[in-house]
Amino acid sequence: WAYVNMETPWAVKILSPIPWSPSEKAWIKWGDLIIKIDWREIKENNWLKEVITWIKWPAWTSVTLTIKRKWKILDIKVNREKIIINEIETKVLNTTTQYIQIKSFWENVSKNFKLTLESIKKDENINKIIIDLRNNWWWFLTEVAEILSYFIEKWKKTAIVKYHNNDKTFISRWHDLIDFSKYKIIILQNSWTASASEILIGTLKDYYPNIELIWEKTYWKWSVQVMKNYVDWSLLKYTIAKWFTWLTETWIDWIWIKPTIELEFDFENYKKNWFDNQLDKAIFIN
């Protein structure tokens, strides 16, 4: 349905609805706070996995979520469905534009990215690549480092992770598959573009300064956390390192990656007509 977190003990926060999932079809938005599931209020002694089971089961039924959206309280009915999550979605738009939506940097994303590049190489009509990283806040740095190896020449540095006592540097392995200098590259980002996505954008901007970025500032999450589990099901998340792009050694906590084209997402138009004004803008950029 959606990627979620529990930052406060009484609410589940929507980090990003999964495209075409029941949550998106019901117009759940990123940033929404779920405070009640049917008749069950979320309380301080409830833990995230427990609350998720209230939402997910049983399949093919419906659930009513009480949502706090800014200053409004909304009851939204969601029809449960079985969904399959594809980490990368691709399609060719208007014969000349390749659209690549990377939903997360989870395992095997780089392998699927390679398959997409191989199809681009075979299509001589493609001259523009749109990479959609909106609502992608996932964190597998090894996967994003592998993807950067398709863009950046061998032995050049792509990112650095600075720990308390040592640094870890990521080096491009240079998968010389296609020449990106021949393509117009546009990246879609928003305030839920975070973590590994920001590393990808920041490093690509280091090496390809003419890349276009559309919409708003990113999430500014450039730190590495680990989770500690306790026997009472509680969790402690704490920071162990910071991430930097290498060429400019950019660290953007509280600075953000700023767009070259600022365009607010028209949610109401998308809700009524499934029209994505940001993607439409990217398609018509020369």
User: Nearest 10 degrees: CA dihedral of 257, 183, 146, 193?
Assistant: 30
Q: Compute CA distances 6 → 96, 103, 220, whole Å.
A: 42, 20, 19
- CA 244 vs CA 55, 142, 212, 218: distances in Å: 37, 14, 21, 15
Buried b (16+ CB within 10 A) or exposed e, 112-124: bbeebbeebeeee
CA-CA distance, 167 to 170, in Å (whole number)? 10
Which ranges in the chain belong to alpha helices (H)?
22-25, 48-56, 109-122, 141-148, 196-207, 267-273, 277-283
CA angle 62, 65, 70 (to 5 degrees): 150
**Strand order from edge to edge, sheet including 223-229:** 167-171, 157-163, 235-245, 223-229
At 45, is the secondary structure helix, strand, or coil? coil
| Rounded Cα–Cα distance for residues 21 and 236 (Å) | 30
Neighbours of 255 (CB within 10 A): 12
Q: Which residues are catalytic?
A: 195, 206, 221
